[in-house]
Amino acid sequence: MTFQDIFKSSFLENMTSVTLLDMALALVLAFALGMFIFLIYKKTFAGVMYSSSFGVTLVALTMITTLVILAVTSNVVLSLGMVGALSIVRFRTAIKEPLDIAFLFWAIGVGIILAAGMIPLAVISSVCIGIILLVFVNKSSNTHPYIVVLSCTGHDVEMKAKDFLSKNVTKTTIKSKSAVKGAIELNIEVRLKDDDTDFINILSEMPGVNSAVIVSYNGDYMG
């Protein structure tokens, strides 16, 4: 057996194992479904700071997964090598939103299904998942929490400010309180009425109130 025979059997045959048409079709579908996942992520995002780079990552992850699975299914030896290569990868980026994990698995799953040739399953399941996320996430985001940071001069002013807040928001919960001589600072979780924040202007002008700030937040507050 000559070197040319070895080269032909190990390389040229693998080049024809996945046709250009199959690869192009898989990549186009992966890009389309990746964009669909990205749009659903954008519509359902309920955090404080939106990251457009994460949305682009979802599109890229769908396409990359499709390419990897296409390569793995075409060659058993390559699949074993891919397992060894990917086993050294460590992802150390912290996931701030629990829902982000679902989007990551969604993108990876769609890439695997497309590479396996199950196009109807990938399309129909993505549409169903997208509708479910739009319905449930948008429904739960109607009562978005806010934190009011209140600084006042004494106990009487504090009671008046809390009474004013309870009349202008739907719910109040004290998260933390710090007091020094002549000053009190409160962190109060509130739920707004019809997203109206005009009350914070009136609160800041009350006698004895040094400052009043309202901040949107998502997740557990560590005070």
Q: Is residue 195 part of a domain?
A: yes
pLDDT of residue 89: 54
Quick one: average pLDDT of 84-99?
61
Distance CA 16, CA 123 (A): 27
Distance CA 71, CA 58 (A): 20
pLDDT of residue 79: 56
User: Domain with 164 in it: what CATH number?
Assistant: 3.30.70.260
Do 42 and 137 belong to one domain?
A: yes
pLDDT of residue 95: 64
Q: If residue 130 lies in a helix (H) or strand (E), which one and from where to where?
A: helix 119-140
Q: Is residue 221 part of a domain?
A: no
**What confidence category does residue 83 fall into, taking pLDDT thresholds of 50, 70 and 90?**
low
